[in-house]
Structure 1
Amino acid sequence: MKIIVWNIPESCSEQEVRDFLGRELGHYAKEIEVFEQGTPNAYANVDVDADEPYVADIIAQQFNGKLLGGVPLQVSAVPFGSNETPPTPPRRE
């Protein structure tokens, strides 16, 4: 199961994003990939380590709006059973 996190501040490095997500998600964060860091379109894909398919949805709901660098993050779960790469979040101009 995967979640996608976007609206990451441009000022955050890849390591800062990884550390924050790892700390906040704890044992649920299996793998964290950060893309386009340092840009207004930075986002992260997180593999969620859980046995039940609804866990990613609950994590996304609870995590949505958490602040990173004073900016509220946006989070959504990738639909259960989707073997595809998570979609790229909306781009900011």
Structure 2
Amino acid sequence: MSTEELKDVQIDHTVDGIGEVCPHTLNIALKALKKAKPGEVVVEETDHSIATKTIPSAVKMNKLAEVLGIVEENGIYKIYLKKL
């Protein structure tokens, strides 16, 4: 999805990973996905650029969520995940 499309997505859960590093950023995302219902969108906000690789890889590999995209603004990344 494009950045503009992502900004219009209804977000069901937002989690704060700012100031955290891997693997904690991944654990935050996994915990939120565990609480989410199938089809719900979880967005993790983080300032840890490596999380933009580890989180999408882990949720795809484990078939937990579809990665809708990542938006970066002023050093903050928003990782959009739709629970499967």
- TM-score by shorter chain over 0.5: no
TM-score (norm 2): 0.36
TM-score by length of 1: 0.34
More helix by share: 2
Bigger share in strand: 2
- Structure having greater relative contact order (Cα 8 Å, sep ≥ 6): 1
